[in-house]
Each structure stands twice: as structure tokens, then as C-alpha cells.
Amino acid sequence: MIRRLLSRIANRSETDFTDPEAPAFTHAATPAGVRLIAVGDIHGHLDLAHDLMARLEDEHATASGPTHLIFLGDYVDRGPASAQVIDWLAGFAPGWATPHFLRGNHEQCLIDILSGAAPDDMLATWLDYGGRETLSSYGLGSRVLYSGDLEEIRAAIRQAIPPHHRRFLEATLPCLRFGDYLFAHAGIRPGVPVETQSEEDLFWIREPFLSSSDDFGAVVVHGHTITPVPENRHNRIGIDTGVYRHGVLTAVVLEGTSRRFVAAQASGVEAGQPAHQVGG
């Protein structure tokens, strides 16, 4: 299984599965009077996360009932401020919404490393796919991060990451459902009931989920797979617009049967236009 997980870390192709002729999923609805907001993969970009929260809070004035704010995971890796993002989220208690924190594949990798469950090849791969940026945000220097001594690196990770950050990571949820919407980091496996989905699929899946036209029993709101613009399908909504690659962090606001997208963009980035690639 570890080998499969490692191959999925490396499979970072930027594919646009958007079908412009896909019909609107007009009958999916939130619970009566409830607004749901899902936030895509933050990947260590605290500045854009703050910007997006400010935009969403400004919109809250039009909400007539409770708002639930669902973060879809991948808070860490690749960006410059993973430690600061975790510190912010661990204490995040906005007066205008109830926050919920899902787990992404990048959090799962870090949890496995902290618990000792990750073998050496998984640790080495994680370092190359955003882990070094995360550890740098926790204050670890190049001498340790590029030493090649995995035992030294493991010990440094355990010492650098504070207990309340680890508790936050371990408390993240695999998925969450409200009304006709299911929230999961990566998606679900078609043909498998929602209640029996594996965590591996919830955190890692791409195909056959992305190309499936099945009715999943709920509209799946997910991140994980980068597309230049949000995907609004009849059976799923994808909102990972590649903050570390395109400079755009996206949220979807669901209220009744309506859907709309809100984005925070790095300076010089226009909505729907990929920025220069900033990460590998």
C-alpha cells in the first residue's frame, strides 16, 4: 500500500476535467437555512487564506442562518508557511461560522511520519514533495533537511512540531456530510457506499472518481486534483485551483440549491488564468 501512496504523491499532473456542457445539479441542496462553505487546499499559503477568510466574512452579512466552514485538507507542504497555517487553524474560532477540518493526503503523510508508521522511502519522498518547505517553516535548517540522515530528520521533526499542532492534525476528519453534499479531500470510489469508503480513497483517489458520471448519492465537494478553474459537475465540485502553482485559493459557497465560487488571488493573477508555476 505504501508503494501505491508514494506513486500518488508523484502523480501531480494538472488535468482539466471540466465539462462545459455538464448540466447544473439543480436538485442538490444544503439543509434548510444552512450555508455551507468549503475551502480548497491551502498548502502553506497563510496570506491567501487570510484574504479568503476576509472575503467570506464580508459575505456572511447576507446569511440568514448558520454557516459551516469546511476546510478540505492539505494545509501543509509546498508553500512557505505551513507551521503558521496549522497554528492559525488550531486556534481558529470565527464568530460567523462553525469550522470543520478534514484531513488531506499531506496531513496523513506527516501524521505517519510523526507516529513512526512511515518507512524511509515514504519520508524521503515526502521531503521532496513539499516536506522540506514544511519543516523549514518550523525552523529546521538546510544542514538537517539535506543531510540525508533520515533518523536525524525524524528526530528533528518530532522535536520541532509542537504537541498542539500534532493534536490538531490527528483530530482532522476523513469526510463530512451535510444535506446532499459530501465533503472529502480527494473524493470517493464509485460503486462503494459512502459509509464504507476507505480513508485511503478519501485522501488519495483520482481515477476512477474524476471521470465518473455516476450518481454518488451525494454531490462530492473535494480538492486534491489541481484544475485552473473550479469544476462544477452534476456529481462533484472540485475546488483545488492550485494555490502553490497558480496563486489562487478557492472556496465554494453552497446555500439552498445555489452554488458560487469565491477566490483569493496572489498579486498579478486574474481569475481563471493560471499564474507562473511556483512549485514542483
Distances (CA, A) of 190 to 194, 209, 215, 260: 9, 6, 9, 26
| Least reliable range by pLDDT among 61-75, 79-93, 135-149, 199-213 | 61-75
Q: Supply the pLDDT for residue 268.
A: 63
Summary mean pLDDT of the chain: 89
Distances (CA, A) of 21 to 24, 70, 113, 270: 9, 28, 43, 24
What is the per-residue DSSP string for 121-155?
HHHHHHIIIIIHHHHHHTT--HHHHTS--HHHHHH
| Least reliable range by pLDDT among 17-21, 171-175, 209-213 | 17-21
Q: Supply the pLDDT for residue 16.
A: 35
Q: Supply the pLDDT for residue 255.
A: 94
Contacts of 87 (CB under 8 A, 6+ apart): 165
* Cβ atoms 124, 130 nearer than 8 A: no
Residue 41 has pLDDT above 70, yes or no: yes
List of domains in the chain: 21-265 (3.60.21.10)
Q: What percent of the chain has pLDDT over 70?
A: 86
Question: Can you say whether residue 190 is alpha, beta or left, with left for phi > 0 and alpha for psi between -120 and 50 degrees?
Answer: beta
Cα–Cα distance for residue pair 65/177, rounded to 1 Å: 18
Residue 6 has pLDDT above 50, yes or no: no
Residue 54 has pLDDT above 80, yes or no: yes
| Least reliable range by pLDDT among 26-30, 116-120, 246-250 | 26-30
Q: Supply the pLDDT for residue 269.
A: 59
CB atoms within 10 A of CB 167: 10
pLDDT tens digits, residue range 241-273?
999 999 999 999 999 999 999 999 998 655 444
Distances (CA, A) of 137 to 83, 88, 89, 235, 260: 6, 13, 15, 37, 33
What is the per-residue DSSP string for 161-172?
S-HHHHHHHHH-
Q: Supply the pLDDT for residue 62.
A: 74
61 versus 227: the higher-pLDDT residue is 227
pLDDT tens digits, residue range 170-187?
999 999 999 999 999 999
| Least reliable range by pLDDT among 60-74, 92-106, 226-240 | 60-74
Residue 22 has pLDDT above 70, yes or no: no
Residue 127 has pLDDT above 60, yes or no: yes
pTM: 0.89
Cα–Cα distance for residue pair 84/78, rounded to 1 Å: 13
* Spacing of C-alpha 65 from chain mean position: 26
How is residue 94 written as a grid cell? 470565527
280 versus 7: the higher-pLDDT residue is 7
Q: Supply the pLDDT for residue 246.
A: 94
Q: What angle do CA 166, 172, 175 make, to 5 degrees?
A: 160
Residue 24 has pLDDT above 50, yes or no: no
Q: Supply the pLDDT for residue 61.
A: 75
Q: Supply the pLDDT for residue 35.
A: 96
Residue 136 has pLDDT above 90, yes or no: yes
270 versus 3: the higher-pLDDT residue is 270
Q: Alpha helices of the chain — where are they, by DSSP H?
A: 2-10, 46-59, 82-90, 105-115, 120-126, 132-137, 142-145, 150-160, 163-171, 199-204, 243-246
What percent of the residues of the chain are helix, what percent strand, and what percent coil, each to the nearest 5? 35, 20, 45
Residue 12 has pLDDT above 50, yes or no: no
Contacts of 117 (CB under 8 A, 6+ apart): none
190 versus 275: the higher-pLDDT residue is 190
